Amino acid sequence: MKWIGSVMGCPVEITFIRLNTHFANLYRLTLFWSDRSFIICIVLPRSMIKSRKTNPERAMDDNKKIALAVLKGAFIDRDVSVVERLFAKDYVQHNPTLPNGPPPLASMFASFPVDFKYEPGMAVADGDLVMVHGRYTGWGPKPLIAVDIFRLANGRVVEHWDVMQEEVPASQTVSGNAMFQP
């Protein structure tokens, strides 16, 4: 990739190169030269180059990891300590069958039947919101496909919504497409 412009009033052509895949993974090499024939070579270890992600992008990635940790801890590992570790004390619940606050969640997570199973699918983050598409099996007579929506603040879940519907097998849908793909 080349860039032609000026630096401090002097015409400059900058060429960015990579030597090989292994070297490029460890170092960034940049060559600069101009019509005055000087060369500057900068080689920096990748660890010294700041991430391209901005703080909001990092926060969304962190929020997504927390939401997935909540779902995995609660529904796959059945670890009720996830409630104390990852939910805010003033947690707001929008599911009409559950009250606000973390304590009811711990009771619910501990009471799942033996055949209960959760499969996470895609996860999407936007600002302080994370949405996870998933499949719940053994919670009712048919598997449920859901989107769990979490709002996070300070590394904790502060609010939750969910939308659930019974799964229809792909063979019975008009499109022939599955409702869920892990």
pLDDT tens for 87-128 read 999 999 999 999 999 999 999 999 999 999 999 999 999 999
Predicted TM-score (pTM) of the model is 0.69
Domain-embedded: residue 179: no
Cα separation, 136 vs 44, whole angstroms: 48
Task: Note the pLDDT of residue 31.
Answer: 46
CA distance 81 to 91: 15
- Domain check: are 115 and 147 in the same one? yes
Q: Which residues contact 10 (CB under 8 A, 6 or more apart)?
A: 34, 36
Split into its structural domains, the chain has a count of 2
25/79 same-domain check: no
Tell me, yes or no, whether 81 and 113 share the same domain.
Answer: yes
| Confidence (pLDDT) at 58 | 87
Q: Does one domain contain both 112 and 41?
A: no
Amino acid at 26: L
In the chain (182 residues long), the average pLDDT of successive 10-residue segments reads 55 52 46 49 50 72 96 95 96 96 93 94 95 95 96 96 96 95 86
* Host domain of residue 40: 2-48
User: How much is the pLDDT for 55?
Assistant: 81
Residue type, 79: D
Closest CA to 155 of 81, 88, 77, 83: 88
pLDDT at 128: 94
74 and 18 both lie in a single domain:
no
Q: Where are the beta strands (DSSP E) in the chain?
A: 2-7, 10-16, 27-34, 39-45, 87-93, 117-126, 129-137, 144-153, 156-166
